[in-house]
Structure 1
């Protein structure tokens, strides 16, 4: 602090014995600055307690020092969906120790397709992590091949050179169905996730592949929305349309909890009358009665990988374009 207030760039330049422009370049990246001048400016900054103006710095570096976490979902989902909540916490924790600020972008009712993509392409952030994306968001085609570093948590519909991390959702669907087959169930239904999301498509594909391999019908399918209410409604439809169902694979634990509620309302026991398997193991499964058998979704590991990849891209490192796919794990409960 100088007698007249916080130190200015001119104060730093005088203390370092360099020009104002040299001091600015040294503070904002060291371009075309000699090692001696850089050291003098660094020392002056430390002695004076100078804090650079972030707005002025961005004009020099073309950096905003912020990244976006894009969740194209209504804001109430952030507080009720354990996967989205875990993603938000994980990205925030992954930025600890950096100067990067986190900008959270959520869907708004009636938002025009492509609105988020246009915002991201306007230079407001240095990079982006996208999760829970839908086909109609137009995020994939807008980000593919563009200058903005981007990492998707969840397989994109079209690869197009996009970097992404995900769990093996197809194998998860197969493992869940195989567990129900091993129990002796033969009329196994599924409540899918939204089919405009690759997680919904892939978990359905795994269920269908295992059912066909067992020579069993695969017609008992209802699309859900990854919510408890959606799981309850979907189960009611399944029981009305397929009263002989003896097992349900729900593509999320929230929907599986909804299924348990609908089955109890019909006077059906779990797993005696209908066995149930969920997907996620992010806290919901441990609180249901009976405790859900589920598939572990390694959300923390995926988010860590996505954040590390984005930071490496921002640092200019050579990052492999190959996707990072994590294995799924069956977690035994009492519902199957």
Structure 2
């Protein structure tokens, strides 16, 4: 098969439809999404920001063990979920709580994993959202497998495979791209380049012109997009999903964004970046940017803003209640899900523990 190398090259600059002030860019490569789509995205942005803030508070209260915030990256989260059809699949990372919620998953069910519960918290098949993956890039191979299987069955499924810039340094990332390209799997590889893999800056990970250029070696077209521009994300990711659904194979999309808060609550970001660097990104906040655009075009007023904020607060309140409930562990669960047919040793160990619990009066 002959391939045009120019078709694989991403744009010289990240695609932008509105600048950091919320002003529409003239001569943009993509049309501005419909007002209804932008309002839907803005409501999800407001909720996503509130989820991030509430989760951080729950960590400080001891109700969550850890939380990797996507504060500042909510536009990527919301757009990734919004461009998918009901039958499509989302494969999130540990930082993609807001994306899973935007896909329809109960935030409490998403976050019990970070509370230390024994299961992922939600049924992946219900909303077509895979369990959040902590190991870098492992979920990309799973995403390609789901997409390849759907293609073999003749289903119109598209898979959104999310990862961060650090994941592009892992072997699984390259294996996933190569397999998807060879078998034309309907996958959109969505890299949220937030400038740091924990404490390692992008410059120490890659000297490629962009992470989107990494698709060239596998025959996967790449694109770059302003990761804090919700409109541009909806346009670029939407186009990539349409291409994949039409049988044109995978695409790699790199969103240029920034992790405003620490890697997790256990991280001290001041050890590897300066406050003025963070401050420069505050002006590019995706929430205030889209709000400015919507207000300027008379699509958003104080009443609707208040309604969105009230909806977000309801979600936060439900998180506080749901994640504050203490769960009494059942020792039998240690053995219930190890093997489909328990081994003799496991049966013996389970009986021993049950006997010890019984002799302690069930405690």
Instruction: Give the TM-score, by structure 2 length.
Output: 0.30
Greater helix fraction, Structure 1 or Structure 2: 2
Larger Cα-atom Rg: 1
Instruction: Give the TM-score, by structure 1 length.
Output: 0.32
Greater strand fraction, Structure 1 or Structure 2: 1
